[in-house]
């Protein structure tokens, strides 16, 4: 978790972005907030925006903002069965991940505001979608532009005649009826429901 702060106030009086990154999938969420939000309000936002989609995390890594160490934050996550895992120099695999996302987000919002005008909050959903659906530099590190384009195009589905499943034609009469072919019974089963019994038949056209 990290924050982008010091942004111009929007019409909804927001001046910061709460950046939340999933450590496993690297999926990011950008939530507009105000710098003076209490931990209680941030906790409610977290439950509404993150827990609603992904459930309660097993651990949380805080790259910055020591105010998150407050007794309420600890008590809340202790009640939810989660633990706080503070990023330190002894955990280089976690340190700096949020900062990298913050830098990317700042560049994206700056570009949107300069090119399209308007409030940064309007472009936040677009920035989140673009980030979560793009290749990151760490993935394509050392890869040339041509190789990157090749990875992008080859990652997409390409049609192939062998993928087409042949469908048997059925001759339909003018009255929209058709001749039924005999079916060989392969297996039978009886499904007992609450108030009725259903006969299940597995068959194959001969």
Q: What is the pLDDT of residue 40?
A: 77
28 near 19, Cβ under 8 Å? yes
In this prediction, residue 25 carries a pLDDT of 82
Tell me the mean pLDDT in the region 46-53. Answer: 85
Assess whether pLDDT exceeds 80 at residue 45: yes
Helices 120-132 and 97-116: angle between axes, nearest 10 degrees: 130
Flag whether 41 is in a domain.
Answer: yes
Q: Look at 9 and 70; give whichever has higher pLDDT.
A: 9
Q: Which pLDDT band holds residue 95 (cuts at 50, 70, 90)?
A: low
- 159 in any annotated domain: no
In-domain check, residue 106: yes
HSE of 4, CA atoms in CB hemisphere, 13 A = 27
What confidence tier does 84 reach under pLDDT thresholds 50, 70, 90?
Answer: low
Task: Provide the percentage of residues in the chain whose pLDDT is more than 90.
Answer: 11
The domain total for the chain is 1
Is 36 part of a structural domain of the chain? yes
Does residue 91 register a pLDDT over 50?
Answer: no
Q: Which domain holds residue 98?
A: 2-135
Residue with the bigger pLDDT between 53 and 31: it is 31
pLDDT at 136: 60
Is 152 among the domain residues?
Answer: no
Looking at the DSSP assignment, which residues form a beta bridge with residue 20?
29
The DSSP secondary-structure symbol of 62 reads E
For residue 86, what pLDDT is reported?
55
Among candidate residues 201, 167, 171, 174, the one with its CA nearest the CA of residue 186: 201
Instruction: Provide, rounded to the nearest whole percent, the portion of the chain with pLDDT above 70.
Output: 67
**Across 76-85, 125-134, 157-166, least confident range:** 76-85
Q: Residue 166 domain-assigned?
A: no
Please indicate, yes or no, if residue 185 is contained in any of the structural domains: no
The answer to whether residue 119 sits within a structural domain is yes
Tell how far CA 63 is from the center of its chain. 21
Average pLDDT, rounded, for the chain: 75
Which is it for strands 83-86 and 59-62: parallel, antiparallel or unpaired? parallel
* CATH number of the domain encompassing residue 73: 3.30.420.10
pTM: 0.56
What's the pLDDT at 177? 80
For 8, residues 6+ apart whose C-beta sits below 8 A from its C-beta are 15, 119, 120
Q: What is the pLDDT of residue 183?
A: 64
Residue 185 phi/psi, 5-degree rounding, is -75, 120
Among the listed residues 32, 26, 29, 27, the one whose alpha carbon sits nearest the alpha carbon of residue 13: 32
């Amino acid at each position: 978790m990290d924050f982008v702060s010091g942004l111009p106030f929007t019409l909804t009086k927001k001046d910061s972005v709460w950046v939340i990154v999933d450590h496993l999938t690297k999926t990011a969420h950008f939530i507009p907030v105000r710098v003076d939000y209490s931990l209680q309000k941030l906790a409610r936002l977290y439950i509404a925006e993150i827990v609603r989609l992904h459930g309660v995390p097993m651990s949380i890594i805080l790259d910055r903002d020591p105010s998150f160490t407050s007794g309420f934050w600890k008590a809340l996550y202790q009640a939810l069965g989660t633990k706080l895992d503070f990023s330190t120099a002894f955990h280089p695999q976690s340190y700096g991940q949020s900062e990298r996302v913050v830098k990317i987000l700042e560049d994206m919002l700056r570009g949107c505001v300069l090119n399209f005008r308007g409030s940064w909050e309007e472009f936040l959903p677009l920035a989140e979608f673009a980030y979560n659906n793009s290749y990151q530099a760490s993935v394509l590190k050392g890869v040339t532009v041509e190789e990157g384009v090749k990875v992008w195009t080859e990652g997409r589905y390409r049609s192939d005649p062998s993928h087409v499943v042949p469908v048997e034609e059925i001759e339909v009469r003018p009255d929209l009826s058709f001749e039924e072919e005999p079916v060989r019974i392969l297996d039978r089963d009886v499904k007992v429901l609450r108030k009725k019994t259903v006969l299940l038949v597995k068959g194959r056209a001969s």
